[in-house]
A = this chain, B = another copy of it.
């Protein structure tokens, strides 16, 4: 489907846009089912947090109306929303009166092999580490060279995702997913206050698990703790949950809590 820029069909962007110049913006990748934006509230909350931290002022009423109209036309697929700080002249200083720019791009539904969800996936152990920047941690901003470098580390189809650690060797996330592990019945995921993207599905699964009486922990995870986990899975708001069967020499069974969270994720995506 044709893209929109600020509500108008377009296939090109001003060369002065700060999204190009500096990665000065944010994005969201939203599943669309039958014209409906899945987990929209979570996506808008993260976007709003990003806009506050970067001091980008978006017109939320207009943005919301455009998202709804675009999703209606897309029907089923994936909507990528980019919000940039808009145009500027040379130099890092932003024009305080610049209008944020809204870019909507649609694509067909993601076509991952069914086996990823059913039998589970292998993670590639990426050597690219995530740098620590608390001012940007958690946000889905446009500065994504670390993910580009990590994703370029493997090209085989045996690995569906990669595992990324931070500079101190802590387990953080996948390249395009968040990661959970299960230990003694508790659901554990990384603290993302120094780096990482706080995924919308991650937030939903933490919330749902707590509501269901499952113990949850958001904390620092060492690689040896991950290796000793009872179960491991990755998630995002497009594919839901994939059990993780292995990473490097480590192996994990596909366990009951993973299947339970997978069912929860499927319900969220189908809602």
Contacts and interface: CB of A to CB of B under 8 A. Distances in A.
A54 B3 CA distance: 28
Contacts of A11: 14-15
A129 B133 CA distance: 8
Contacts of A142: 20-23, 145
A12 interface: yes
A76 interface: no
A132 interface: yes
Contacts of A91: 151, 176
Contacts of A133: 129, 131, 146, 167
Contacts of A22: 23, 142-145, 147-148
16 contacts: A10-B15, A11-B15, A12-B15, A13-B20, A19-B20, A22-B23, A22-B147, A24-B148, A54-B145, A89-B107, A90-B107, A90-B110, A91-B151, A91-B176, A92-B148, A136-B146
